[in-house]
Amino acid sequence: MKVTDLTHVIYSDMPVFPGTEQPILEKVKTLENEGYREAKISMYSHTGTHIDAPAHMLSQGPCLDDLAVEHYIGKAAILDFSTGGMELIDLASLKPYEEKIKKVEFLIIKTGWSKYWGDKKYFEDFPSLNEEAAKWLSEFNLKGIGVDTASIDAIKSTTFAVHKILLQKNILIIENLTNLDSLGKEHFVLSVLPLKNKNADGSPVRAVSIEHL
């Protein structure tokens, strides 16, 4: 069994989506003073590698804590678009993989954009899905779709149409994945377990793949 970490590290001066604040990790208890270590953590619910709940964009959408725990684990496949220099991943790009998508619960779209993590380019004109592709994907029995970019919508989007199309079907959106080059197989088990916060619109996750050798 091979387990691969697909998660960015959370730290105080890490990259965050424009308009949000970086996390604060404050040491409040120390070995010297209290005899143990403890930290106070303050951060946005969509920090780093995270998942979006339907409630993130939809007024009547369920929160993460409304969904069963099995919604966060399942069979996954990765589609590699990292060599095509694509700005939009459209329906024509996805159609050849229809039979593969039918057989999985999670779809990971690899664009190669995670190589820009820590550079301002990471938040500029990254590849994204268009609405037609999102509508087509929403007809599959998927639990979630993950990307190695800051958003599944284009950075200039103000309507977040792709988010809403997918979230209306309770398809979770996993953003800021990394280390996808380390996956050895096209199919694997994906785990994206969130914190169990009440009324959670999103949560950082420890995304991992499990490949059976």
- Residue whose C-alpha is closest to residue 183's, from 79, 64, 99: 79
Task: Give the pairing of strands 38-42 and 24-29.
Answer: antiparallel
Residue 203 lies in a domain: yes
Per-residue pLDDT of the chain (213 residues; tens, 9 = 90+): 999 999 999 999 999 999 999 999 999 999 999 999 999 999 999 999 999 999 999 999 999 999 999 999 999 999 999 987 778 899 999 999 999 999 999 999 999 999 999 999 999 999 999 999 999 999 999 999 999 999 999 999 999 999 999 999 999 999 999 999 999 888 999 999 999 999 999 999 999 999 987
CA count, 13 A, side-chain hemisphere, 66:
15
Q: How far, in Å, CA of 30 to CA of 32, rounded?
A: 5
How far apart are the C-alpha atoms of 20 and 28, rounded to whole Å? 24
Examine residue 28 and state whether it is found in any structural domain, yes or no: no
Assigned domain for 197 exists = yes
Q: Is residue 105 part of a domain?
A: yes
pLDDT of residue 87: 85
Give the pLDDT of residue 85: 75
Residue 37 within a domain? no
**pLDDT for residue 55:** 97
pLDDT of residue 185: 86
Q: 0.85 cut: is pTM over it?
A: yes
Query: Is 194 part of a structural domain of the chain?
Result: yes
Note down the domain range covering 189: 2-9+45-211
Nearest to residue 25, comparing CAs of 8, 6, 38, 35?
Answer: 38
Domain count, the chain: 1
Beta strands in 111-180 (DSSP E): 128-129, 144-147, 172-175
> Is 34 domain-assigned?
no
The CATH number assigned to the domain holding 66 equals 3.50.30.50
Instruction: List the one residue out of 156, 194, 178, 17 whose CA is nearest residue 108.
Output: 178
pLDDT at 112: 95
- Does the residue 38 lie in any domain? no
